[in-house]
Structure formats: C-alpha cells, structure tokens
Amino acid sequence: MELSLHLGGLQSYEGDAIVVGVFSDGDLTAVAQAVDGLCGGAIGRLRGGAFRAALGEVFSLPLAGSSAPVALAVGLGPRAGFSHARAKKAAALAARHAKQMRLGRVGLAPLEPADAPSGGWALEATLIGAALGGYGFDRFQKEKGQGPHTLSLICAEADAPQGRAALAAAQAITAGVQAARDLVNTPPNEKTPEKLVATLQAMALEEGLDCRVIGRDELAGMGAGGILAVGRGSAHPPAIVVLRHDGGAGPWHGYLGKGMTFDSGGIDLKTAPGMLWMKSDMSGAAAVVGAMLSIHRLGVKGRFVGVLSIAENMTGADAFRPSDVLQMLSGTTVEVSDTDAEGRLVLADGLELLRREQVADIIDLATLTGAVVIALGKERAGLFSNDDAHAEQVLAAGARAAERYWRLPLDEEHSESLKSPTADMKSTGGRDGGASKAAAFLRHFAQDTPWVHLDIAGTAFEEEGGPLGHGATGFGVETLVRFAQGG
Ligand code: BES
Ligand code: MN
Ligand code: ZN
C-alpha cells in the first residue's frame, strides 16, 4: 500500500473514492461542505438521520462533478473532545470500508485547520489510521484482496509543507507497522526460528540496520539457559537477534521482544482452542522489529538497540520439563513450574543481555499471559514498571500513538509467590494475579535498570474483525516510535 500526497483541490483528485470526516454536531466543516456540494447536499440532509456520524460510522454516497465516483463520509463523533486518536480510528474504519468496497485509490480529505477543534489537523494520524485499516494479508491466497493500494492525502497547495511532513512520518511509521503485522500473520511453518532469523537478516540488510545473530551454539557458550531450554523441544534451534540504530550521541535505549514463533505450551501442552492463535506469540518481537525499521527510516536522533528472543515452544523428545532447574544467563537458577510459562524465560536472558549493554532503560513487549486478557480485555495492554518516571514516558508515548495501556501493580507479594524450595526462584506463582506475577519474574532480571514491561497478549491480534480487521494489529510499534522521538 502506497501513501501519497495530492496537491490541489477535491475536484482535481482522480481516484475511486474520497474520504471525508463529518462531526455529529454543529455545522459541517469546510471540507465536508465542499464534498456535500458534490453529492447534492446529501450529507447535510442525512446527518443525524440515516447517517448519525458516530465515531467510525461510514456512509457511502455517489459523487458528481468530481473525478472520484464515491464519497465515503466517516463519522468523527461530537466536536468536543476530538483528538488525533479519534482521527486515527475514523480513518481506519473508513479505509476498512473502502477495502470491503474494493476501492483501489482512495483520497483522504483532511479537516481544515480552523475546523480541527483540538490537537491540530491530525494529518499524520489520519494517514496512519487509513493505512492500518486498509491493510490486508493475502500472501498465501491466489485471489488477492482488492483493498486500497494508494491512499492520498488531499492537500491545498498552501498547506504543502505540513502535508509533506505528515506524509514522510506516516510512511515511515506505517512501513514498520505493516512489517510487524506481516510477520505476525505469517503462518508458523513459514517463520520457524531459522526462517524468521533469515527474514530479519534480509530486512536489516535492505534497510541498512545493523543486525547481529546469536545462534544456538553461541547462546550455549554464553550460558543463556532460559532461551536454550525453551527451544530444546523444537527441531528449529532458538536464536537472539540484535538490531541497532545509532542516531548519534547519548545513551543506548533497549527494546526487547518475545519472539515465540509458535507456543504449543510444551510438555504442559495447551488445549486445542488455546493453541489456535499461538503463531502470534512473536508479536512483541515483531513490534520491536517494526519500530526499529521505522526509527531507522525516520532517522531518529538517539541510540536504540532491539533484542529479539526467538524460539519455538514444542514437545520434542528433548523438550524441557516441569521441575527442570535452569541456569539463566544472569546466573540465577530457575525451577520450571510450567513449560507454558516460556515467555518469561526467553525474556529473562534478553534482559540480561541488555543489562550487559549498559542501556539507560528498557521496554519489553510480550504476549505474556492470558491473565492480562482477562484483566484488561482486548483494547488495553498491561504496563508494569520498576521506575515511575520511565513508566510515565512510555504512557505518554502510548497516548501520542493512540495505543492504550493500563498500569498494573507489581508488589513484593508477587515476587514472594515465585519462591522455590529447590532453586533461586520458580517460573510461576499461581493463577491469580498471573500478569503481575509474570512481571515480577521479569523484574528480577531487569534489576535496577529502569524498565517497562508491556503485556500485549490481548491487543496483539483480533480473532474477528475489530477496527483493524482480522489478525495481527501491529500494537506497540507506534508507541516505541513515539518514545524514541520523544526521548
Ligand atoms: N503465549 C502465552 C500467553 C497468551 C495467552 C498470549 C493468550 C495470547 C493469548 C503464554 O506463553 C502462556 O502460555 N502463558 C501462560 C502462563 C501460565 C502457565 C502461568 C498463561 O497465561 O496461561
Ligand atoms: Mn506459553
Ligand atoms: Zn507464549
């Protein structure tokens, strides 16, 4: 999907449709009035009736006197409280509608500055949202989806500088989000650890991103007992991939992602329905890859190192067992209490690797627990931290990205639940408060490095069409990009 700029008026835009935002109250905005004029006043007549202009509601109308045949009026909800988050959601739903209508070239008519009640024009959010909503994954289908292939921001000549800036940022960010979604949507037989590593190496080479692969033998030499144990039941050996963007001076910031290419649960096997979506168990790693790609394309000033802990959790003859004791990279010994709690083991070694890099702070992303889905649902990810200032920065980045988080507790009792009679600690502490207990396990390995853990188990994928459609959402990519831009 290509994002572009159309300089000039509505009438001169040649495509299949024009998307225009409509508030549910007050006068039509200037641009909505212009589109309304081209469809005989239908928007004004129908608004409040057949078209209520609720946030994300889409109404299609024939357009006359324009070189695009269809107008897609998308509701922005009430003027009060309009935000870039609402612009992003409305644009996503409009683009999804365009995809269902098989419209290939879609123009986006943004609000005039005078009509944007708060937060500027939200040009960037509109473009990013539309790209998110128009996304589809048809690599394995003979019949390709007929969704939008070109999304053009319609922009008056006078506003060209703002339009160009928004376009450049949106192109870089959506490239990262789409890369992450493609990786997550890829079936697990096509992204075994070796294949995923090869894909990442090729991508890094193409992008000019520094990439180092720590293979199984090197991990063994280092004593990375967590990730090695998790990978042992699979015919496909684990690896850690390290991506770097060096944008000048200052300390390095660490990003870490859980990259389970498939999570069967291991010897503590999951149920069939519980296993269905476990190709998405590398969504944390995919988000880090996408963010590193975007950050690099944006040329962000700052130094970022992305660590991806990649393995497949299977049940092979040499699989690790419940009650095995592992010596982790940090030296801590861990008694395995459940082989399905594998994510924390691969992340623990990743955290230690980042500590050795002496990073200033760490953000990890992981589809870590079912418990966080029960606690927060599918709209918000859980946020845990050992450092309030770092947590606030990540929350602020999330707000700029219109990705929602909710900070959850991390108490001493959560750590106490991980006491083992046999080893320094055990890997799980019981079902209740499971997301916090998993975070407490990670906190042990983050030690005193300012660290934020984002549990994205609920937000990483949609089983049935949400605003972003079916499958991977790319959740977290934009948060990491905004964090990088702000820090
Ligand atoms: N990958 C799963 C978590 C998950 C569940 C992600 C649902 C997405 C949707 C993780 O590895 C896991 O199995 N966690 C266990 C931990 C338990 C054994 C302590 C869980 O949540 O049940
Ligand atoms: Mn698991
Ligand atoms: Zn898992």
**Which residue puts its alpha carbon closest to atom 7 of ligand 1?**
370
- Residues 347 and 300 placed together within one structural domain of the fold: yes
Residues with CB under 5 A from ligand 3 (ion): 260, 263, 281, 343
What is the mean pLDDT of each successive set of 10 residues along the chain, which is 487 residues long?
Answer: 93 95 94 94 95 97 88 95 93 95 94 65 92 94 87 92 94 98 98 98 98 98 98 98 95 99 98 96 99 98 98 98 98 98 99 98 99 97 98 97 98 98 97 97 98 98 78 97 90
Q: At what angle do helices 84-100 and 123-134 cross, to 10 degrees?
A: 30
Distance of CA 454 to the CA centre of its chain: 11
- The count of structural domains within the chain is 2
Q: Which ligand is nearest to the CA of 277?
A: 1
- Residues 103 and 207 placed together within one structural domain of the fold: no
Q: How far is the CA of 482 from the centre of ligand 1 (A)?
A: 28
DSSP label of 459: T
Q: How far is the CA of 342 from the centre of ligand 2 (A)?
A: 5
Rounded distance, CA 458 to CA 374, Å?
8
Rounded distance, CA 74 to CA 60, Å?
9
pLDDT of res. 464: 77
262 strand-pairing partners: 312
- Residues 396 and 360 placed together within one structural domain of the fold: yes
- Residues 211 and 324 placed together within one structural domain of the fold: yes
Both tokens of residue 148? 């939008």
- Residues 194 and 138 placed together within one structural domain of the fold: no
Among residues 171, 343, 149, 136, which one has the least CA distance to residue 256? 343
pLDDT of res. 421: 98
Q: How far is the CA of 370 from the centre of ligand 3 (A)?
A: 9
Terminal CA-CA length for the chain = 30
Rounded distance, CA 358 to CA 421, Å?
32
- Answer yes or no: is 166 within a domain: no
Number of the ligand 1 atom closest to the C-alpha atom of 367: 6
From the candidates 52, 164, 195, 270, give the one annotated as an active-site residue. 270
- Answer yes or no: is 162 within a domain: no
- Answer yes or no: is 173 within a domain: no
Cβ-contact 457, 277 below 8 angstroms: no
- Answer yes or no: is 333 within a domain: yes
- List of residues 6+ apart from 362 with CB closer than 8 A: 253, 254, 255, 256, 351, 354, 446, 449, 450, 451, 452
- Answer yes or no: is 118 within a domain: yes
pLDDT of res. 119: 46
Cβ-contact 452, 383 below 8 angstroms: yes
Q: Which residues line the pocket of ligand 1, CB cutoff 6 A?
A: 263, 281, 338, 340-343, 367-371, 373, 428, 434, 457
Residue 404 catalytic? no
Domain that holds residue 87: 2-156
For the four alpha carbons of 443, 445, 447 and 449, in that order, the dihedral sign comes to negative
- Residues 316 and 281 placed together within one structural domain of the fold: yes
Cβ-contact 32, 76 below 8 angstroms: no
- Residues 119 and 188 placed together within one structural domain of the fold: no
User: Looking up tokens 């476990």, which residue turns up?
Assistant: 278
**Is pTM beyond 0.95 here?**
yes
CATH of the domain at 27: 3.40.220.10
From the candidates 181, 258, 344, 437, give the one annotated as an active-site residue. 344
Rounded distance, CA 442 to CA 451, Å?
10
- Residues 315 and 460 placed together within one structural domain of the fold: yes
pLDDT of res. 276: 93
Q: At what angle do helices 388-401 and 477-486 cross, to 10 degrees?
A: 120
DSSP label of 428: -
Q: Which of 369, 436, 454 to mutate to test the pocket of ligand 1 (most atoms within 8 A of CB)?
A: 369
- Answer yes or no: is 425 within a domain: yes
Both tokens of residue 426? 């055990």
CATH of the domain at 322: 3.40.630.10
Query: How does DSSP assign 91-151, residue by residue?
Result: HHHHHHHHHHTT--EEEEEPPPGGG--SSTT-HHHHHHHHHHHH----TT-SS-----SEE
- Residues 208 and 103 placed together within one structural domain of the fold: no
Q: Is 457 helix (H, G, I), strand (E, B) or coil?
A: coil
Rounded distance, CA 387 to CA 396, Å?
14
DSSP label of 190: G
- Answer yes or no: is 167 within a domain: no
- Residues 143 and 264 placed together within one structural domain of the fold: no
- Answer yes or no: is 389 within a domain: yes
- List of residues 6+ apart from 41 with CB closer than 8 A: none
- Residues 145 and 193 placed together within one structural domain of the fold: no
Taking CA atoms, 216 is separated from 65, 207, 231, 311, 368, in Å, by: 64, 25, 9, 10, 23
**Which residue puts its alpha carbon closest to atom 22 of ligand 1?**
370
Q: How far is the CA of 367 from the centre of ligand 1 (A)?
A: 7
Residue 482 catalytic? no
- Residues 148 and 227 placed together within one structural domain of the fold: no
The angle at the Cα of 59, spanning 54 to 61, to the nearest 5 degrees, equals: 150
